[in-house]
Amino acid sequence: MEIGAIFAGLQPNPSAILCSSRSTSALPPPIFTDKRQFCPPSLKLQNQSHFATYSSNNVGAASIASNVTRELADIDWDNLGFGFMATDYMYIMKCLQGGDFSKGELQRFGNIELSPSAGVLNYGQGLFEGLKAYRQQDGNILLFRPEENALRLRMGAERMCMPSPTVEQFVEAVKVTVLANKRWIPPTGKGSLYIRPLLMGSGAVLGLAPAPEYTFLIYVSPVGNYFKEGLAPINLVIETELHRATPGGTGGVKTIGNYAAVLRAQAVAKAKGYSDVLYLDSINKRYLEEVSSCNIFLVKDNVLSTPAIKGTILPGITRKSIIDVARSQGFQVEERQVTVDELLDADEVFCTGTAVVISPVGSVTYLGKRVSYGNEGIGVVAQQLYSSLTRLQMGLTKDTMDWVVELK
């Protein structure tokens, strides 16, 4: 998930679109292979006149798929920013409270209809995820650890009293949505397709209670590389009054309210020239938690330390991956309580998230005292881990971790 403007969410970027030449052809079924062989659930396409439809029994599906997805969208890929851009299709699946999700549909991307009394609007009963798809030179598409997003969504759904898709349903829905929007995946090296799954209480409810109906939705947007010309450091300020999460709360799940709660402190920080806010624990006010929407690491004497996941910190998938990659390269990694004093004395500091992968920290300001790090904040360890993980995500190095899902 996402530094600076990305922390605040994907923002509209209409200037990157040169021509809105959307395909009006019938949507083909997905053609893909997956070396881990997830079992696909049934998929039903919306059969209405304003939606593209396709019967999986049609002859020549592979040929149609090739024709429809052969060309790229008419976009200035070299100047693609990290902002929202409408694509062709979104995926929707619904279920009732106490039921199971089934019969997912691809629909033309567009606005959705919600009752003013929807649970997500009145009581914040909603979760989201974020992951990416990359295009290889040979045309194959790569996803990075989508089952981890599925597992995290299920964990969050339990906390928020919502039903959730199975891991298999989640991963299959991501694959279907990505392939339906294949022409929006940037060319190799130009960026990625950002994938945003949502789970929300869409049914109407007036009194405080779980919604009677739930919607699982996936939309996608092409995004450029966050760092156009190499890693760039950010400047953080430590927040001492406001807190992102408290013990027993929802800080450890990716619920929508967690992100609205950080906007005020983030806006104040940016008005003072900082990139973002680093939060402390709400009890002792001396242990690091996380930045607005990403995890934090520090390096001291070649040892990596990051706050332990203990209910108030989101278990980031990039965080988890960086820990595994670092350990595979011989680094010692400690997951524990990390104090402000240790942070100020570190050799390197960096953040991790879906959007940036790794973002080096150039400086941290605490109680008016500014501490800078290394060579303009870009440390050797951060650079090494960033290169290793991004090469793995883009299929440029062998996947010894079995993390990459390949779509053909």
List, for residues 151-201, the tens digit of each pLDDT value.
Answer: 999 999 999 999 999 999 999 999 999 999 999 999 999 999 999 999 999
pLDDT of residue 71: 83
DSSP 138-185: TS-EEEE-HHHHHHHHHHHHHHTT-----HHHHHHHHHHHHHHTGGGS
pLDDT of residue 408: 78
Quickly state the pLDDT bin for 242 (edges 50, 70, 90): very high
DSSP β-ladder status, 191-201 and 131-135? antiparallel
Own/partner contacts of 388-394, CB < 8 Å, gap of 24 or more, are 388/325, 388/329, 389/318, 389/321, 389/322, 389/325, 389/357, 389/358, 390/357, 392/144, 392/325, 393/132, 393/134, 393/142, 393/144, 393/357, 394/134, 394/136, 394/142, 394/188
Q: Is 333 left (phi over 0), alpha (psi -120 to 50) or beta?
A: beta
Residue scoring higher pLDDT (376 or 359):
359
pLDDT of residue 229: 62
Q: Is the pLDDT of residue 4 over 90?
A: no
pLDDT in tens, 211-239: 999 999 999 999 998 876 668 899 999 99
Q: Is 248 left (phi over 0), alpha (psi -120 to 50) or beta?
A: left
Q: State the average pLDDT over residues 376-382.
A: 86
pLDDT of residue 378: 85
Q: State the average pLDDT over residues 45-50.
A: 35
Distance CA 126, CA 255 (A): 6
Question: In this structure, are residues 79 and 8 in contact, taking their beta carbons and an 8 Å threshold?
Answer: no
Which residues are registered as beta bridge partners of 131? 195
Q: Is the pLDDT of residue 47 over 80?
A: no
Of these residues, 103, 228, 254, 310, which one is catalytic?
254
Quickly state the pLDDT bin for 66 (edges 50, 70, 90): very low
Contacts of 96 (CB under 8 A, 6+ apart): 203, 212, 213, 214
DSSP single-letter state for residue 7: T
Residue 67's Cα: distance from chain center in Å? 30
Q: pTM (2 decimals)? A: 0.84
Distance CA 85, CA 74 (A): 12
Distance CA 168, CA 39 (A): 6
What are the structural domains, with CATH classification, of the chain?
89-224 (3.30.470.10), 234-404 (3.20.10.10)
pLDDT of residue 69: 46
pLDDT of residue 78: 93
Distance CA 70, CA 379 (A): 41
Structure tokens, 316: 């980031």
Q: Is the pLDDT of residue 50 over 90?
A: no
DSSP single-letter state for residue 218: E
pLDDT of residue 225: 85
Q: Is the pLDDT of residue 361 over 90?
A: yes
Q: Is the pLDDT of residue 44 over 80?
A: no
pLDDT in tens, 75-124: 999 999 989 999 999 999 999 999 999 989 999 999 999 999 999 999 99
Q: Is the pLDDT of residue 317 over 50?
A: yes
Distance CA 306, CA 349 (A): 10
pLDDT of residue 61: 30
Q: Is the pLDDT of residue 140 over 80?
A: yes
pLDDT in tens, 265-307: 999 999 999 999 999 999 999 999 999 999 999 999 999 999 9
254 in active site:
yes
Q: State the average pLDDT over residues 385-407.
A: 96
pLDDT of residue 70: 57
Q: Is the pLDDT of residue 130 over 60?
A: yes
Q: Is the pLDDT of residue 43 over 80?
A: no
